[in-house]
Amino acid sequence: MSWLEENDWAARLFRSAPGVVLTDAEGVVSAGRGLVVPVKKETDQPGGKRHPLGTLTRPQFRFSGWLAAPGHAVGGTLSQGLQSWRVLDCRPVTLGARTLCWRCLLEREEAAP
């Protein structure tokens, strides 16, 4: 465990979670750990899910976990294993002044044919 992980409560909380790689909008690569789960589709909204970013038509996923350097995550790519997702929104979950974890809204990237 690195010095950062030893002194970061969120890193310790997610130490057993699968690793992720975040490539932010500026091309900076950083590591992290966390879980990616699908967002439940709301059936009463035809054409996609409404979101402040607009109407989202592709399946969405939610990342919850630790990121070493979230920086400018929005617009970047989060990868875990062979899967990769585009980051639509990323915010810290805090308790007082301490960051517990990061929650990101993701959209699966389509593989190029």
Q: pLDDT, tens digit, for every residue of 93-105?
A: 888 877 788 899 9
Domain count, the chain: 1
Local confidence band at 3 (pLDDT 50, 70, 90 cut-offs): very low
Contact indicator for 66, 34 with CB cutoff of 8 Å: yes
The verdict on residue 43 lying in a domain is: no
The verdict on residue 15 lying in a domain is: yes
The verdict on residue 69 lying in a domain is: yes
The verdict on residue 44 lying in a domain is: no
Q: pLDDT, tens digit, for every residue of 28-85?
A: 899 999 999 988 765 555 555 555 555 566 678 999 998 887 778 888 999 999 999 9
The verdict on residue 10 lying in a domain is: yes
The DSSP string of 78-110 is: EEETTEEEEEEEEEEEEETTEEEEEEEEEEEPP
Share of residues in the chain with pLDDT > 90 (%)? 26
The verdict on residue 113 lying in a domain is: no
> 53 lies in which domain range?
3-38+49-108
Q: Is the pLDDT confidence value at 10 over 80?
A: no
